[in-house]
Structure formats: structure tokens, C-alpha cells
Amino acid sequence: MINNLRMRTEQFQRENERLRNLVEASSLVDSLEKRTSLRSFESHKLQELESAYSRLKLELESLVAEKADAGLENMNIKMLFDRLIEDNDRRREESAELRAMLSTRFERQSLLAGGSPRPDSGHWSAGHSEDGSSDLDEELCLERQCRQLKALAE
């Protein structure tokens, strides 16, 4: 009987060790998924920045070409410059708000128990509104409306 209990104890210890290894492997996989998710977010952001850079470069080239063709007196440089600065400020504000919302949402998802989707997995939560938009979409829409109202007030 004592030998039987010793064998069962050893069996439970092996099973316990196997389960610990499984939990450890699962946490490593979750950590790797988070890193992969952040890398894909960073690469997407880099692509956006490169796109904005090329667009600004093209606008600058068109400005130089317009100056060369029409002469400086026919150009409305101040209006173009103000429009570019306003567009840049608007994008900077929106980018900061998006970063804050994404980091908040990512932190919330990281704190949830296992089974939560990665931030870039395309997973839609069950908390949609009736028209099919997500909470993040509604929050972004409200932020944009606030910015537009502030701009109109100025």
C-alpha cells in the first residue's frame, strides 16, 4: 500500500511538472504574440509615415514647379503653407489620440484572461452597437466631431 501511494505521488508530481511546463509555454506564446502584434502595428505606422512623407514631397515639388512656371507673384504661398500646417497639426492631434486609445485598449486586452485576441487580429468584440460599429469607431467619430467644432469655434 505504501509503494502504491509513493507511485501515485510520483505520478502526480510528474503530472504537476508537465502542467507547469505547459503553463510556462503558454505564457511564452502569449508574450511572443504580443511582440508580433506590436511589430506589425509599428510597421503599419511606418508605412503611414512614409506615405505622408511622399505626399508632402510631391506637394513641395509641385510648389517649386508652380513657382518656376508662374512666377512668385502669381502664387498664393501663404494659403498653401497654412493649409499644410493645419493638415499637419490635425494629423498630429489625431495620431496622439489614436495612440492613447490604442494603448488603453491594448492594456485592457492584455489584462484580460487568456483567449483574448491580439490587437491587430481583426477580432470584433461582442460589444458592438446596433448599427454594427464598434466602441472604438464611435469614440473616434466623437473625437473628430469635437475637433471640427473647435476649429469652427476659432
In which residue are the cell numbers 500500500 written? 1
What was the pLDDT predicted at 135?
Answer: 65
Instruction: Write down the pLDDT at residue 73.
Output: 63
pLDDT for position 39: 74
Query: What dihedral do alpha carbons 119, 123, 129, 130 form, nearest 10°?
Result: 160
Summarize pLDDT for 83-95 with one digit per residue, the tens. 878 888 888 888 8
**Which residues in the chain show pLDDT less than 70?**
70-75, 113-137, 154
Which pLDDT belongs to residue 125? 47
For residues 4 and 87, give the distance between their C-alpha atoms in angstroms, rounded to a whole number.
77
pLDDT for 35 equals: 73
Residue 17, pLDDT score: 92
Q: Which long-range contacts (CB under 8 A, 24 or more apart) does 84-91 make?
A: 84/56, 84/59, 90/147, 91/52
**pLDDT of 36:** 74
> Whole-structure pTM over 0.75, yes or no?
no
